[in-house]
Amino acid sequence: MASENEISFDGIRKPKPPKAIGPPRILFVGNSHIEYFVSTPTLFKELCDANNININVQQLVTMGVSLDKVYYTNKTEANQNFSNIDKDGNYYDYVVLQESTPIALKNVEKYRTNLKLFAEKIHQNSPDAAIYVYQNMSPLSYTNSQYDKYHKELRKNTILAAAFIKNAGVLRVGDAVKDAYDGKNGYQYLKNNKDNLRDGKHVLHFLNDGGFLQAVLLYSTVFNTTPIIPKKLILSTGTGDNDNMRKQAVHNAISNPKALEEIAFSNR
């Protein structure tokens, strides 16, 4: 049964977080869309630190698999996490659940089943956790004629799947990415004929611009405000084998942070 939390103008429910005693806790569950060239949990924590929000960040991330396989791959750690309790009655205050794109796109029943698998385990010791179901972005290049079709299908399926989870809403990643590609707020995704948001041959992973957009979107969605952006963030030095993540000046590593902030906030 769907929860009776607030419905926004576009039909997406807004989960209500529990009242935390002490620092709240967030759990990221998913695959390489959460962490690859850049790390959303790391960036989110940096944004929180810069805005004087003390929050504990945890993650269960496995490359290239669906949510059920994330659980079974990390079963011991997952079960330990889900058995933990907090004095305020909710060990986790926020949870991000990111399904694999093929399942989110083609198999709504499996999508719901996998979300339910985690929701039931989370609710054992976090009955009031605010769950954000990750809206996958279109897996195709923006120049592909089928980009919009895949985007709409993923958006629809995410809303349908999230509707059956208690106190759950949608983290509108796909919408924010499409807005960036569409040039909202003056953002230009092409630089020297290269995509500034995502890179990859078979799977498109977030580059610095995309990772920044995703982290600011999550912050804006959870706290309903735009974060103060620190001068430096841990971002990728590139996509090669010798590249890694390290502290870099935002104005050098991100092509148009202001435009991406505005796109993120409008999709909260």
> Per the domain annotation, does 208 fall within a domain?
yes
Tokens representing 12?
């997406």
The CATH number given to whatever domain includes residue 99 is 3.40.50.1110
What pLDDT sits at residue 11? 60
Q: How far is CA 133 from CA 18, 28, 59, 163, 250, in A?
A: 17, 10, 15, 10, 28
What is the predicted pLDDT for the residue at 215?
A: 98
Residue numbers of the domain that contains 259: 6-266
Q: Fill in the amino acid letter for 162.
A: A
Please report the pLDDT score of residue 9 as a whole number. Answer: 39
pTM of structure: 0.95
Rounded distance, CA 89 to CA 77, Å? 21
- Nearest C-alpha neighbor of 185 from the set 268, 266, 249: 266
Q: Which pLDDT does position 13 carry in this prediction? A: 76
**Does 1 fall in a domain?**
no
Q: Would you call 228 exposed, middle or buried from its count of C-beta atoms within 10 A (0-12, 13-18, 19+)? A: exposed
Give the other-Cβ count within 10 Å of 123's Cβ.
19
pLDDT single digits (tens) 31-75: 999 999 999 999 999 999 999 999 999 999 999 999 999 999 999
Phi and psi torsions of 80, nearest 5°? -65, -45
The number of distinct structural domains making up the chain is: 1
Q: pLDDT digit string (tens) for 120-135?
A: 999 999 999 999 999 9
- Whether residue 221 is contained in a domain is answered as yes
Q: Residue 205 is encoded by which pair of tokens? A: 């992973």
